[in-house]
């Protein structure tokens, strides 16, 4: 049994006061208890304050980090720094990192190793562009991202990895993948993991769906056999809508 995992990706949004109020609202309103794992991924400058406000009731993650442990890397944060302020997760290889900031699979892979070495959970994002879907390349693109981003990850390490399938055309567009479209790719991702890590490990790894998840579509998406959670952008910025998605995960 894979425990559903709902993570909010706040991206470059909120003030410190808004972020603190938001995580408190999520912590107070969450009635799913242990049956759903819940986290918010805040801007790095607010992580410390958000961890304190979450008071252990909601997990907290960073949205990115650099692969080196420390040194002359102006503007970057390390996985150890995220851990030091109380994070448990780091989102890696989000499509905005890949497409706006030019991160390659090799870059993402180095970060995955750094995050695992720090004892944090990487949420590794994969997903195709619209033109890639329309030209029938979705499964090739996702396979390349999966194998490229996870190269060298051991069986033992793989047990703590979370995958997020986020079709780029569905992110922030209101154009959600249908449950069938998403399930098809999720099942493909599970098959790729089984080929590399065997069934016992593959069956334990959570695969989140991301891209225009809302309270009214969450339960149906999450009722698919290989959709084990959601990575939520826009709808994670209001406690009510994020709580609605958590409730949808609990119901599915």
Whole-Å CA distances, 115 to 80, 105, 239:
8, 15, 28
Q: Is 94 a catalytic residue?
A: yes
The reply to whether 128 sits near ligand PGA by the rule CB under 6 A is no
- Contact status: 216 vs ligand PGA (CB under 6 A): no
- Can you tell me the distance from the alpha carbon of 215 to that of 34, in angstroms, rounded to the nearest whole number? 19
Our CB check for ligand PGA shows the closer of 93 and 115 to be: 93
Shortest reach from residue 70's CB to ligand PGA, in Å: 28
C-alpha–C-alpha distance, residues 43 and 61, integer Å: 9
Catalytic residue chosen out of the listed positions 132, 166, 183, 186: 166
The catalytic residue among 94, 103, 132, 186 is 94
The residue (of 138 and 212) whose beta carbon lies closer to ligand PGA is: 212
Q: Which is nearer to ligand PGA, 9 or 14 (CB)?
A: 9
212 touching ligand PGA, by CB under 6 A: yes
Q: Is 238 in the site for ligand PGA (CB under 6 A)?
A: no
Does 14 sit near ligand PGA (CB under 6 A)?
no
CB–CB of 62/82 below 8 Å? yes
DSSP secondary structure letter of residue 204? T
CB of 122 to ligand PGA, least distance (A): 15
Contact call for residue 175 and ligand PGA (CB under 6 A): no
Tokens for 188? 């493909």
SS3 182: helix
Candidates 4, 122, 127, 210; binder of ligand PGA (CB under 6 A) is: 210
Q: Report the residue from 20, 65, 171, 192 that binds ligand PGA according to the rule CB under 6 A.
A: 171
The only residue of 56, 119, 172, 225 in contact with ligand PGA, by rule CB under 6 A: 172
Which of residues 96 and 107 has its CB atom nearest to ligand PGA in the complex? 96
Cα 161 from Cα 147, distance rounded (Å): 13
> Which 3 state secondary structure label does DSSP give 193?
helix
> By the 8 A CB rule, do 80 and 118 touch?
yes
DSSP secondary structure string for all residues of 96-159: HHHHTS---HHHHHHHHHHHHHTT-EEEEEE---HHHHHTT-HHHHHHHHHHHHTTT--HHHHT
Q: How far apart are CA 43 and CA 9, in angstroms?
A: 9
The answer to whether residues 129 and 170 touch, using CB atoms and an 8 Å cutoff, is no
Based on the shown chain and the rule CB under 6 A, indicate whether residue 217 belongs to the binding site for ligand PGA: no
Count, residues near ligand PGA per rule CB under 6 A: 13
Binding of ligand PGA by 234 (CB under 6 A):
yes
Active site residue 166: yes
With binding defined as CB under 6 A, does residue 232 bind ligand PGA?
A: yes
**What residues make contact with ligand PGA under the rule CB under 6 A?**
9, 166, 171-172, 210-213, 231-235
**Which residues are known to be catalytic?**
94, 166
């Amino acid at each position: 049994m894979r425990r559903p995992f709902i993570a909010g990706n706040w991206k470059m949004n909120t003030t410190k006061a808004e972020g603190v109020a938001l995580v408190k609202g999520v912590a107070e309103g969450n009635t799913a208890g242990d049956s759903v794992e819940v986290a918010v991924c805040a801007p790095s400058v607010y992580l410390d304050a958000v961890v304190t406000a979450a008071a252990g009731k909601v997990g907290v993650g960073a949205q990115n980090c650099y692969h080196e442990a420390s040194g002359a890397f102006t503007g970057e944060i390390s996985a150890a720094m995220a851990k030091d302020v109380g994070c448990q997760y780091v989102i890696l290889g989000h499509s905005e990192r890949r497409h706006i900031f030019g991160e390659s699979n090799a870059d993402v892979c180095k970060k995955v190793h750094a995050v695992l070495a720090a004892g944090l959970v990487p949420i590794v994002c994969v997903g195709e562009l619209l033109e890639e879907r329309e030209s029938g390349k979705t499964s090739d693109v996702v396979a390349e991202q999966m194998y490229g981003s996870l190269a060298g990850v051991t069986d033992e390490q793989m047990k703590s990895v979370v995958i997020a399938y986020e079709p780029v055309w569905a992110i922030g567009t209101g154009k959600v993948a249908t449950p069938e479209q998403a399930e098809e790719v999720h099942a493909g991702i599970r098959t790729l993991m089984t080929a590399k890590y065997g069934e016992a490990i593959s069956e334990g790894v959570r695969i989140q769906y991301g891209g225009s998840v809302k309270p009214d579509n969450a339960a149906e998406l999450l009722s698919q056999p290989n959709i084990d959670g959601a990575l939520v952008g826009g709808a994670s910025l209001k406690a009510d809508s994020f709580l609605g998605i958590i409730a949808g995960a609990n119901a599915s």
